Structure 1
């Protein structure tokens, strides 16, 4: 490994240490207790070093969100779409997404269930035209369109329907995180009923 490659590897390693420390503070102490100074103390570096990588804590949060969104996009890309059964792709994507978030629920709670500075633009999904900007919405629109084209789904506004599907899914996830004492069996029933309800809404009442 040459000098340049070694330096780049060291930078990547330190950036990861900063992100991991910030994530741990977010999860254990909450956003209000997150600071550059606290991150620096945790990784035993000076605050100045961290500012060399990130201009402020909101930029660190954006980095964490972007990483999470990349993982979600990977999940979506791994789901194949059978044009004869697009509802299978929709349920598979949503189920895998729910499972992923529940595995990372403490980070999800810290990032998306708090009013965090500088993250609004990263998580917004209710504005008109979002399907062109967000992979999650765009892919859902594509699946719904396939179902409409082959007569399996009724005609709907693609973007609005995709937005409602995703926001209702976020709502279920949020309640599952907040209500920690829900038995696993009940949790699974809620998830499966949610998925079936969505598909019934797409199929029911076709023109």
Structure 2
């Protein structure tokens, strides 16, 4: 391995160490409590070292949130559900979204409840036109559009439907995270009933008009 390659690897390893520490702090204390000093203390380096790898705390936050968001996007646009009929795809997308969120509960809650510009850049989804800018919402929008292909449903209605599904799904995720004593069986029952009954009813309402 050349000196240059070794240096590149060392830089990436240090960045990962910093980001991992930041994620841990966010998960346990929330976004607002994250600081360069806390990260430095956790990785046992001086704060000045961190500035060799990141410009500031905001850049670190941005990378951490981007990574979490990519997991969500990957879940709702998984190749495993390609080719399914729209209804099956919608159910699978919803379940994938919930399961990924529940796999990182503290990080997910911290991001969704944070009102900073950095967080909202990634988590906001209720503004008009969001389905064209947000990959996860766009995947849901396209699935609904496929469901309505034989009906005269306008784009605004499709986007609003997608946004309402996202909002209600967030509500279920939050409650499951907060009510920590829910059994695995009950959690699975809630997710199954919600995705197969509630979400499909919300989506199918526009096809009955």
What residue in structure 2 maps to residue 190 of structure 1? Answer: 190
1:27-64, CA deviations, whole angstroms, 9 ceiling, x for partnerless residues?
23333432101111211222112122223223212111
What residue in structure 2 maps to residue 206 of structure 1? Answer: 208
TM-score by length of 1: 0.88
Q: Is the 8 A contact 2:36 2:47 kept in 1?
A: yes
Moved more, 62-71 or 27-36: 27-36
Looking at structure 1, the residues matched to 113 and 179 of structure 2 have their Cα atoms a distance apart, in angstroms, of 14
Cα root mean square deviation, aligned: 2.0
Matches within 5 A, 1:26-175: 26-75=26-75, 76-82=77-83, 85-116=85-116, 118-150=118-150, 155=153, 157-175=157-175
Moved more, 50-59 or 74-83: 74-83
Gaps of 5+ in 1: none
Q: Give the direction of change, closer, same or farther, for the CA distance of 1:23–1:125 in structure 2 (3 Å limit).
A: same
Looking at structure 2, the residues matched to 29 and 166 of structure 1 have their Cα atoms a distance apart, in angstroms, of 25
Gaps of 5+ in 2: none
Looking at structure 1, the residues matched to 30 and 136 of structure 2 have their Cα atoms a distance apart, in angstroms, of 27
Looking at structure 2, the residues matched to 27 and 137 of structure 1 have their Cα atoms a distance apart, in angstroms, of 24
TM-aligned CA deviation for residue 117 of structure 1: 6.0
Looking at structure 2, the residues matched to 128 and 63 of structure 1 have their Cα atoms a distance apart, in angstroms, of 26
Q: Secondary structure in 2 aligned to 1:53?
A: coil
TM-score by length of 2: 0.88
Q: Give the direction of change, closer, same or farther, for the CA distance of 1:47–1:158 in structure 2 (3 Å limit).
A: same
TM-aligned CA deviation for residue 150 of structure 1: 4.5
Q: Is the 8 A contact 2:71 2:100 kept in 1?
A: no
Q: Give the direction of change, closer, same or farther, for the CA distance of 1:121–1:30 in structure 2 (3 Å limit).
A: closer
Q: Secondary structure in 1 aligned to 2:52?
A: helix
Looking at structure 2, the residues matched to 7 and 109 of structure 1 have their Cα atoms a distance apart, in angstroms, of 36
Looking at structure 2, the residues matched to 16 and 94 of structure 1 have their Cα atoms a distance apart, in angstroms, of 30
Looking at structure 2, the residues matched to 130 and 50 of structure 1 have their Cα atoms a distance apart, in angstroms, of 34
